[in-house]
Structure 1
Amino acid sequence: MKKQVVHVSVLQSAKVMAVLYLVLSIPMVAIMAIPAMMGTQGAAAGMTLGMLVLMPILYTVLGFIFTAIGAWVYNLVAARVGGFEFTTTESSN
């Protein structure tokens, strides 16, 4: 059974992806914080720690913005050429 996705909710898609980007950025920040706290001194340490705080915020905001743009463009394209096509099966669960 084939189905087409012909419309994507722009705001809902962007919200979901923003939260996913936030969740994905937290482990990256934790990994990058280890060497940042071990070796840098003075102004470089402040800048590095500032970036560690700023990165999840930027990652979330930019993820929201670019997902919204992507969903909007997808809707324009899908209206003219059709959406993604995929096959589904019935589940016995």
Structure 2
Amino acid sequence: MKRSGNIRVLAFEKFQSLIVAILGAICGLIYSVGGFMVDLLVSLNLVESVETSGLSYGTVLAFGALLVMPVIGAFAGFLFGLAEALVFNLFSGWIKDVDLNFSQKK
């Protein structure tokens, strides 16, 4: 079996973009829900904070992170996926003796 040692750049970009977009959605969820909980506790006078006044427009804007962070993550993943795939393809042509075999020996 002969391998070319190259990966398809566009396919890797899409994969990387999807992975980082999912991570962005998770981070956006943590950011928005966590911020909402802190603002809610401050508004109910259960916690005192100098940084936040409680529920306000900032709380609503924090829920924008649910949309914005996955988009930013997907864009960054696409760009980094492009760079990673191009660098991998460049160096795989020079280094031909590297063989990654993940099958188990019996």
> Quick check: TM above 0.5?
yes
Residue 75 (structure 2) aligns with: 61
The percentage of aligned residue pairs carrying the same residue is 20
Over 3 Å counting, the alpha-carbon distance change for 1:84 and 1:15 in structure 2 is: farther
Aligned residues: CA RMSD: 2.7
Higher strand proportion, which one? 1
Retained in 1: the 8 A contact 2:13–2:81?
Answer: yes
Gaps of 5+ in 1: none
Higher relative contact order (CA 8 A, sep 6+): 1
Shift of 1:33: 1.4
Count of aligned residue pairs for this structure pair: 89
TM-score, scaled relative to structure 2: 0.65
Bigger radius of gyration = 2
TM-score, scaled relative to structure 1: 0.72
- d(CA) in 2 for partners of 1:16, 1:50: 24
Gaps of 5+ in 2: 40-53
